[in-house]
Structure 1
Amino acid sequence: MTATESDATAVAPRIDAVFDLDALLTEDELAWRDRARRFAQERIAPVIEQDFEDKHFRRELVREAGELGFLGMHLSGYGCAGAGAVAYGLVCLELEAADSGWRTFVSVQGSLAMSAIHKYGSEAQKERWLPGMAAGELIGCFALTEPQGGSDPAAMTTTARREGDEWVVDGAKRWIGLASLADVAVVWAKVDDEGGDDHGVVRGFLVPTATPGFTATPIDGKLSMRASVQCDVTFDGVRLAADAMLPGARGLSGPFGCLNEARYGIVWGAMGAARSCLESALGRSISREVFGRPIGANQLIQAKLADMLVEVEKGVLLALHLGRLKERGALTPAQISVGKLNSVREALRIAHEARAILAGDGITNEFPVMRHAANLESVRTYEGTDEVHQLVIGRALTGLSAF
């Protein structure tokens, strides 16, 4: 155990003593939380700094995540665990405390690709893909964002046209997580079928990635999410059987329904990164001495630590509230936007404050803080930027759309 790990282990009980979250959780939720914490601490944390440096995603851990029940855990049937929303959120928090890339993987696999198939797929599609994905034997990706589209999916240019008994998909997507590793891609495309009922309508298609014309190229040069994989994807005359379409998804409500699942996980996950940064700063404030005493004995440092803890507590309690709403079927998109906006924005502020407390050592990989801060810049951008979520909330408040 390194000195940094020892510091974090020593300060965790201090944080827990101030913030008694366990009292608000069920035994089942605590069991899921503890399982995810062990996996994160034992399998991800010891190697994540080197993986970040090497731009390496450990695919061998995918099956382990499946065996532990994390993949599509909020779904029921087809080998999925059928866990509650709060249990899923706690797993996201613990994984992101290790690295945002691993929470992102669970989100892409479970909340996006598996949720799309589970919500909108035929029974045959569910049986074909979901059991293997839940077990970690198969990987899925979710191809929505386009090079020029960004926050405007209605401007989609990827098309699907009918040719006899087949669909032919052409176009391009960007920033598609896991695409070069995936076995199946959930692809959203506008139907090009003059005179047909679906002409110009966005529909979802299941595309086995071995299909000729499908190409996924990992994006290089990333300074964030380096232990994760995001790709440019092209579709060049990709031919699919007629039954490749997801029958239950018509229009943008289809992908948005999946995006809200992923955004919910981010509300929890970002607080995991924030907690990790707080633990690093707190441990260092106790162990590092300047001018003959620990830096944590200074009022300015204690004020920073107190503010960081307050925001972690507020963020987790908000996530818990949203989780209970979700379990009752009462969670709204605007409420998810409140959570995503707050959690990621405050997690970044905590990361920056922690870096300052760590002083010069804070920019090294002896501590996870700079890695978390870099990753959180991606989390802040995907699944809706701050500005998009502000507009969602503003629309809910005023009844007026400013998009």
Structure 2
Amino acid sequence: MNHLAADRYRSYYLLDDTLGAQERDVASRVRAFVDRDLLPVINEYWERAEFPHQLVPLLADLDVAGGAIEGYGCPRLTRLGVGIVARELSRGDGSMNTFLAVHSGLTMGSISMLGDEEQKSRWLPDMARLRKIGAFALTEPEHGSDSVALETSARREGDFYILNGRKRWIGNASFADIVVIWARDEDDGHVKGFVLEKHDDGTFPSGYETTVITGKIGKRAVLQPDVVLKDLRIPVGNRLAHAETFRDVSRVLATTRSGAAWEALGHATAAYEIALAYAGERSQFGRPIASFQLVQHRLANMLSELTAMELICFRLADLSGRGQMTSAMASLAKMHTAQKGRWICSTARDILGGNGLLLENHVARHLTDMEVVHTYEGTDSIQALIVGRDITGVSAFA
């Protein structure tokens, strides 16, 4: 089965009909990139666990990096437009979406939200054109869900901060030009953001070492290294001016958490498209399996969950654009879409039977990538505790 021949899913409740001109345009551009440039090559890179660097200039031409950031060469998309980009990229491949989400949402988002004017002017324009690539170093080997307890330290010595510690699962960090590193300031104990820049010759400063994590079952085409910081010197002027406590990190994460919901929607959309097309093409016992009651029951339930995911994502984008989205709202969206996206991809794989195990049919890639989405940006359990705290007024965090 050729995924490119699968019927493109059209929102059952016609939500795409509500898109404005900007969102329609960006959806069209990203879909064209996915179908023309990404899907024909991604399985090859995914299987080899390599990042498709040659696609970066083509991604830059889409003018989507920087999302909703105003100025500095960014496209100033609506929050809905940012979500549509994540949906369409993930419909093609989760690794490419993660690459952009780390660069645009987490790294550029940190600089935009927490940098001063000089810092934003220095870094964002080149990042908006993907001339410089960003990475976001928060998670540590012993601190994932409890990243608030991170142990990486920063000590000021004259005009520099000296950073020591380890980071893990840091997307893009092995080749990025700009890395936002979160560390605990020894002077006051607060978590702050520091920006590492490559030298002009393209090398990393002394004290920054990366080892790409291998053996992953999902997101194989995005590079996520372990990072070791040993007496890494960061100029004082590279400390994000308005990053004072972990609450500031949380502000960035709350913004990007909704992006994980849109990614889940993209994976689920692709899986549903593929399963529906396959059911119409695959014959068993002398007729297409789409004529079997059990298959129609599964497809109808997949569509039901997919529609619910869409409604949540569209509404969350509206609330975000109005400045009304809360952290708990974002957590509820991520929790629901990760659960249902995982189920839709698993059911699609089942409909394809043995053929669902083959990369050429793409479902296996979406399924294993959804395993990653289910974990990152906060696990299902962590999102439930955030929502639970909000609705009960009682924190159940240990």
Say yes or no: TM over 0.5: yes
Q: What secondary structure does 2:77 align onto?
A: coil
Report the counterpart of residue 28 of structure 2 in structure 1.
Answer: 34
Q: Report the alpha carbon displacement of residue 4 of structure 1 after superposing the two structures with TM.
A: 2.0
The equivalent position to 2:307 in structure 1, one of 298, 310, 313, is 313
1:395 lines up with 2:393 in the alignment:
no
* Preserved CA contact (<8 Å) 1:288 1:295: yes
Q: What secondary structure does 1:80 align onto?
A: coil
Q: Report the alpha carbon displacement of residue 370 of structure 1 after superposing the two structures with TM.
A: 1.0
* 1:205-238 Cα distance to aligned partner (Å, 9 max, x none): 0111422111121111111111111010111101
1:273 lines up with 2:267 in the alignment:
yes
The equivalent position to 1:152 in structure 2, one of 146, 155, 159, is 146
After superposition, the CA RMSD in angstroms is: 1.2
> What letter matches 2:107 in structure 1?
A
> What letter matches 1:299 in structure 2?
Q
Give distance in 2, aligned partners of 1:222 and 1:294.
35
Matches for 1:63-78 after TM superposition, within 5 Å: 63-78=57-72
1:92 lines up with 2:86 in the alignment:
yes
Unaligned runs of 5+ in 1: 194-198
The equivalent position to 2:195 in structure 1, one of 197, 206, 211, is 206
Give distance in 2, aligned partners of 1:23 and 1:57.
34
Q: What secondary structure does 1:247 align onto?
A: coil
* Preserved CA contact (<8 Å) 1:271 1:312: yes
* Preserved CA contact (<8 Å) 2:11 2:307: no
Q: What secondary structure does 1:177 align onto?
A: coil
Q: Report the alpha carbon displacement of residue 191 of structure 1 after superposing the two structures with TM.
A: 0.6
Return closer, same or farther for 1:399/1:170 CA change in 2, 3 Å cut-off.
Answer: same
Give distance in 1, aligned partners of 2:75 and 2:292.
48
* 1:15-74 Cα distance to aligned partner (Å, 9 max, x none): 427442222211221111111111111111111111111111112222322221111121
* Preserved CA contact (<8 Å) 1:348 1:373: yes
- Compute the TM-score of the two structures, normalised by the length of structure 2: 0.96
Give distance in 2, aligned partners of 1:243 and 1:108.
23
Report the counterpart of residue 247 of structure 2 in structure 1.
Answer: 253
Q: What secondary structure does 1:227 align onto?
A: coil
> What letter matches 2:305 in structure 1?
E
Q: What secondary structure does 1:16 align onto?
A: coil
The equivalent position to 2:220 in structure 1, one of 213, 226, 233, is 226
Report the counterpart of residue 132 of structure 1 in structure 2.
Answer: 126
* Preserved CA contact (<8 Å) 2:268 2:342: yes
Q: What secondary structure does 2:352 align onto?
A: helix
Give distance in 2, aligned partners of 1:7 and 1:295.
18
Report the counterpart of residue 339 of structure 1 in structure 2.
Answer: 333
Matches for 1:37-116 after TM superposition, within 5 Å: 37-116=31-110
Q: What secondary structure does 1:356 align onto?
A: helix
Give distance in 2, aligned partners of 1:391 and 1:207.
33
* Preserved CA contact (<8 Å) 1:7 1:284: no
Q: What secondary structure does 2:360 align onto?
A: coil
Report the counterpart of residue 4 of structure 1 in structure 2.
Answer: 2
Give distance in 2, aligned partners of 1:17 and 1:294.
24
> What letter matches 2:3 in structure 1?
E
Report the counterpart of residue 299 of structure 1 in structure 2.
Answer: 293
Give distance in 2, aligned partners of 1:18 and 1:206.
44
Give distance in 2, aligned partners of 1:21 and 1:58.
32
Q: Identify which range, 210-219 or 388-397, moves more after superposition.
A: 210-219
Give distance in 1, aligned partners of 2:119 and 2:65.
17
Identical-pair percentage: 39
Return closer, same or farther for 1:105/1:43 CA change in 2, 3 Å cut-off.
Answer: same
1:262 lines up with 2:234 in the alignment:
no
Give distance in 2, aligned partners of 1:264 and 1:377.
17
Q: Report the alpha carbon displacement of residue 154 of structure 1 after superposing the two structures with TM.
A: 2.2
Q: Report the alpha carbon displacement of residue 252 of structure 1 after superposing the two structures with TM.
A: 0.8
Give distance in 1, aligned partners of 2:216 and 2:10.
35
Q: What secondary structure does 1:379 align onto?
A: helix
> What letter matches 1:395 in structure 2?
R
> What letter matches 1:179 in structure 2?
A
Give distance in 2, aligned partners of 1:51 and 1:146.
27
Give distance in 2, aligned partners of 1:124 and 1:401.
39
Unaligned runs of 5+ in 2: 199-203
Q: Report the alpha carbon displacement of residue 349 of structure 1 after superposing the two structures with TM.
A: 0.2
* Preserved CA contact (<8 Å) 2:338 2:374: yes
Return closer, same or farther for 1:137/1:6 CA change in 2, 3 Å cut-off.
Answer: closer
Give distance in 2, aligned partners of 1:360 and 1:19.
32
Q: Report the alpha carbon displacement of residue 6 of structure 1 after superposing the two structures with TM.
A: 5.3
Report the counterpart of residue 196 of structure 1 in structure 2.
Answer: none
Q: What secondary structure does 1:175 align onto?
A: coil
> What letter matches 1:227 in structure 2?
A
Q: Report the alpha carbon displacement of residue 125 of structure 1 after superposing the two structures with TM.
A: 1.4
Give distance in 2, aligned partners of 1:75 and 1:17.
28
* Preserved CA contact (<8 Å) 1:143 1:173: yes
> What letter matches 1:102 in structure 2?
M
| Runs of 4+ residues over 3 Å off in structure 1 | none
Give distance in 2, aligned partners of 1:22 and 1:115.
26
